[in-house]
Structure 1
């Protein structure tokens, strides 16, 4: 028999959906990059929600990268506003405090994928040697 989702899991999923829309529509700070919310984990007592975000870029970023630090600072500064908007949108009696974290998993997975490709002797899907821009 399949396990049902708990209330905390459903709330975390809803927070993830609502925050994605709120960040895209309401936060107009130019320092904020293209943010993806990868996961939301809500504590059992609904006191805190840990939001794991990543930035959409072509380069591998770490938590110490200036772009990541700037984006996290903007998100942390707007956490109170986002929490209030979440309360209105979700109609929760108690809205958890929002804590934003950089998610290192996408970078690690790209690294592991490249190591596997290298070990298997596979070529990249996109061959950069035939790029017309590189001949200039």
Structure 2
């Protein structure tokens, strides 16, 4: 088991290497606009999960995923040359769900904002159900000394 700090450093280095050299290694016109979002390396440094996003529609994402899978070995060779460690980790290229998650969050925030606006509109002419000031107040000072009863 490798040191977790070393695994993080290797993951960061793999991310930099792939992001900087992706278009030079894969000279395919079908490759979309790819962003490497994260890399996670296992504790034994044998496997690296590379997360990426693709700018474009669903067809562009599928085409890019196919192109990346085809050139996965070339990317691993590049990583091995650049890292200079004894064993090059296997690469698993995983499409990141970040855009879909962000879209869902934006939709939830929009719905919450609409609901807040509806509540504010309903609150505009509302009055309290009981007294205007429902809190008990201490007795007046002039009644404090008298014994009524």
CA shift, 1:50, in A, is 0.8
The CA deviation string for residues 75-105 of structure 1, in whole angstroms up to 9 with x for no partner, is 1111111111111112111111111111112
Counterpart residue number, 1:38: 37
TM-score (norm 2): 0.68
Instruction: Count residues with an aligned counterpart.
Output: 113
Q: Are residues 1:73 and 2:72 paired?
A: no
Deviation at 1:21, TM superposition (A): 1.1
SS in 1 for 2:110: helix
- Root-mean-square deviation over aligned CA pairs: 2.0
Residue in 2 aligned with 1:29?
28
Deviation at 1:32, TM superposition (A): 0.9
- 1:30-64 superposed Cα distances (whole Å, 9 cap, x missing partner): 1110001111111112221111111123x5xxxxx
**Partner SS, residue 49 of structure 2:** strand
Larger radius of gyration: 2
Q: Distance between the aligned counterparts of 2:95 and 2:75, measured in 1?
A: 18
- Counterpart secondary structure, 2:103: helix
Structure 1 runs of 4+ with >4 Å offset = none
Consecutive unaligned residues of structure 1, counting only runs of 5 or more, are 60-64, 123-136
TM-score by length of 1: 0.74
Bigger relative contact order, structure 1 or 2, given CA contacts below 8 A and separation 6+? 1
Deviation at 1:70, TM superposition (A): 1.6
Q: Are 1:88 and 2:87 matched, yes or no?
A: no
